[in-house]
Amino acid sequence: MRSPAIAIRVWPAWAAVPGHDFIAFALCWVIQMAVIMRGMAAVQHFERLAAPLLLLVSAGLLWWAVQESHGLFGLWHNTIALQQHTNPDGSDRFAMLFWPGLAANVGYWATLSLNIPDFTRYARSQRAHMLGQGLALPLTMAGFSAIGIAVTATGLLLFKESLWNPVALIPRITNSAPLLVLAMLAILLAQFTTNIAANVVAPANDFINLAPRRISFGTGALLTGLIGIAMSPWLLLEHAGAYVFTWLGGYGSLLGAFSGVILCDYFLIRRMQLDVLPLYLPEGHVRWSWRALAAVILAIAPVMPGFIHAASVPGGIVEHGTIWDRLYTYGWFFTCLTAVCWLALLALPSLLTRGARAGQERGLP
């Protein structure tokens, strides 16, 4: 949804065009649909095109921050300006924002953690998959987060304003038209690749699974895009706090319950032994588990009052809330752990029966 702002920065007259916000949104939607409807190969080529530009712009912003801070030590010192330890009423601001912020950040990645097989299936080997997930992804995320903190701190020092959005910051740094176009193009491509990978690939595959003979990957992607429009994403992004603490925290809490069920089923119930073949056979013994559904419902029920309260508060942060509000601040962590406990409890009779049967087969009393 930054596409209208990007267009205005590159071409100021764009702001005078009637309906420019939705024109830019529609154009970006069409481009992304055109890419993903051509299949995963087109997505991979698009990612390869965007990655170098994004790295170049990020490195440029970091270099600017270091130069303006007179070295790395000065840059480190500037980050102190971002800290605000207490609220006006004397309460601890860090404690109030840390857990809901952490839960929202985990919720942001919860989608990809559940559908990561949509991407790891293309890994050349198990070693490549492990290196990507265990080394490359955490280091890349930490690196970009550090760049964001450093650049925001430097911008706050120079412009007396917290400019965390690169679309607002870059025009303050340079007036060079070629640099602005390059930077804005990189930001736009970063949005495209992130949205396609994180929000379109997984539901497109889900639609295929509903009717494999009738729904192709392109059709599933198109259905996903249409549903995305119907959800009115511009309303979700009207307020940054509401987006982080209500939207990300809310669906992160829901996905935490699913993650807990998957973890408990794989490690505790199935003992890391999966029968994969029936998943791909029409006559395979794959059925719904009432225990899993019950565990999900019981896990998310305690955080629902807090979610509803947060959704009704501007900014999504409830100060001096009840116990239900505090449970919601832990979001993904609470629902994941709770789902593990509930599924283990509901599956305990069958686990005991299986253990007794295994003991009899071994001749144990």
Quick one: pLDDT at residue 91?
56
Mean pLDDT of 269-273: 85
Domains of the chain: which residue ranges? 1-86+94-237, 239-365
Mean pLDDT of 280-288: 69
Quick one: pLDDT at residue 283?
67
pTM for this model (two decimals):
0.78
Quick one: pLDDT at residue 338?
95
- pLDDT per residue over 161-193, tens digit each? 878 788 788 888 877 778 878 878 888 888 888
The more confidently predicted of residues 4 and 190 is 190
- 1-86+94-237 — its CATH code? 1.10.4160.10
CA 221 to chain centroid, in Å, comes to: 18
Quick one: pLDDT at residue 84?
57
- The number of CA neighbours under 13 Å toward the Cβ of 115 is 16
| Cβ neighbour number for residue 68 with a 10 Å cutoff | 16
pLDDT classification of 94: cutoffs 50, 70, 90? low
Mean pLDDT of 282-301: 84
| Cβ neighbour number for residue 58 with a 10 Å cutoff | 18
pLDDT classification of 257: cutoffs 50, 70, 90? very high
DSSP 292-351: HHHHHHHHHGGGHHHHHHHHTSTTS--TT--HHHHHHHTHHHHHHHHHHHHHHHHTHHHH
